């Protein structure tokens, strides 16, 4: 059975997970030439790379390192190992970091909330190391967590040596890996944007002022973050994220020649992405992917969905002619296992086929046993007899 429909154009909220596949639908138009040693532009929802320049060249990232550290800390917030109201005590080691800092004293206590604010806005090395020690017991243990998580994310160009990004031999990552970890942070802990979009704030009851090092917060439409970095060795680095019309882009810049040029490079790449691409929602505007009836199942129907989620990245010029067709069976036979491929969605633009996306079961349906069939039969006989429950 075929079910055809047009995709409605709408701004859709981000709902995908890190498991979303990258769907290549059309050739990427030529992107701008930017002033940086390396750069990547990635769409957050699908993980698709829209632009790359020396994407996998490993080099020092300076304080953009803190995106990885923030990811580990925010995962601890997500699973309850850490609370925003927890008080963190600064160690001698954390207080000795130097570089960008809020001048924590050994033994000084500050809430996780204020330390996060200090890290995101002021790039405070002492605060991120204090948080790392609070989460893992020591900075070396925390760095082990950073490297393990990077491996899970497929960040094959990265090797972390500290939590803050100060230059150390062998402490490197790539523009592609920065995009990966930035995407992970946004997907797993979107509340981080409550901090990354602040321009100015303070800690210590207003005594210590913070100004966001990401100047795009004041000047770029739709900016959502994320982190700057600079050392004389690393140059001017940046992870910039922005959202418009339901699509969020991640831009990674490494070794820009100046602060102004890294921000300009990010603006050029973000503008390029928003001008040329859009997200389509395969579930928008209809009831096409309805549950499918199941014969001999403990449940009468099984829910289905496109494999990897309902979002698809397309060229903006294709939106007006985009359509998709679901090819699904009228009925299934139990058992059905979650993840079983049951059909497909054929996506076309202007009549030309772009891709085919498997449609899978989102839940399992067990087959009825003899006892289940007997119980159902008795239930139907009882309900059809008109006999009233004496206790009713």
Q: Is there a catalytic annotation at residue 364?
A: no
Taking the CA atoms of residue 263, residue 265, residue 267 and residue 268 in that order, the dihedral angle to the nearest 10 degrees is: 160
Residues 172 and 156 sit within 8 Å (Cβ to Cβ): no
Phi-psi region of 80 (alpha: psi -120 to 50; beta: other; left: phi over 0): left
| CA distances (Å), origin 348, targets 70, 277, 319 | 40, 16, 10
Q: How many residues are present in the chain?
A: 392
Which member of 91, 123, 174, 182 is catalytic?
Answer: 123
Rounded CA-CA distance 115/119 in Å is: 6
Active site residue 63: yes
The single residue of 66, 117, 193, 311 carrying the catalytic annotation is 66
Q: Which residues pair with 87 in a beta bridge?
A: 111
- Helices in the chain by DSSP H: which ranges? 65-78, 92-95, 112-122, 125-136, 139-152, 175-188, 193-196, 216-219, 259-276, 370-385
Containing H/E element for 52? strand 49-53
Asked about 193 being catalytic, the answer comes back as no
Please list the active-site residues.
63, 66, 123
């Amino acid at each position: 059975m075929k079910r055809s429909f047009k995709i409605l154009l709408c701004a859709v909220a981000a709902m995908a997970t890190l498991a979303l596949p990258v769907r290549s639908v059309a050739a990427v138009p030529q992107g701008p030439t930017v002033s940086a040693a390396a750069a990547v532009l990635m769409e957050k929802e699908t993980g698709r790379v829209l632009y790359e320049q020396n994407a996998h060249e490993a080099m020092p990232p300076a304080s953009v390192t803190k995106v990885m550290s923030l990811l580990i800390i925010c995962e601890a917030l997500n699973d309850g190992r850490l609370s925003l109201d927890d008080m963190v005590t600064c160690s001698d080691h954390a207080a000795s970091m130097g570089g960008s800092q809020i001048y924590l004293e050994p033994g000084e206590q500050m809430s996780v909330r204020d330390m996060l604010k200090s890290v995101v806005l002021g790039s405070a090395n002492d605060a991120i190391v204090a948080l790392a020690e609070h989460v893992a017991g020591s900075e070396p243990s925390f760095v082990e967590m950073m490297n393990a998580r990077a491996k899970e994310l497929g960040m094959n160009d990265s090797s972390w040596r500290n939590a803050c990004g100060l230059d150390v031999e062998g402490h490197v990552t790539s523009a592609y890996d920065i995009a990966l970890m930035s995407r992970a942070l946004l997907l797993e802990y979107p509340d981080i944007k409550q901090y990354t979009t602040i321009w100015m704030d303070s800690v210590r009851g207003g005594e210590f002022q913070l100004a966001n090092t990401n100047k795009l917060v004041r000047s770029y439409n739709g900016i959502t973050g994320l982190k700057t970095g600079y050392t004389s060795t690393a140059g001017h680095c940046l992870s910039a994220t922005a959202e418009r019309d339901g699509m969020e882009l991640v831009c990674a810049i490494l070794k820009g020649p100046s602060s102004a040029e890294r921000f300009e490079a990010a603006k050029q790449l973000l503008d390029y992405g928003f001008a040329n691409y859009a997200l389509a929602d395969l579930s928008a505007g209809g009831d096409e992917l309805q549950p499918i009836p199941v014969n001999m199942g403990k449940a009468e129907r099984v829910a289905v969905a496109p494999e990897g989620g309902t979002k698809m990245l397309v060229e903006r010029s294709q939106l007006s002619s985009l359509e998709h067709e679901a090819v699904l069976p009228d009925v299934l036979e139990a058992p059905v296992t979650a993840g079983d491929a049951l059909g497909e969605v054929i996506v076309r633009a202007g009549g030309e086929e772009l891709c085919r996306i498997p449609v899978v079961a989102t839940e399992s349906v067990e087959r009825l046993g003899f006892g289940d069939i007997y119980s159902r039969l008795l239930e139907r006989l009882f309900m059809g007899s008109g006999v009233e429950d004496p206790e009713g």
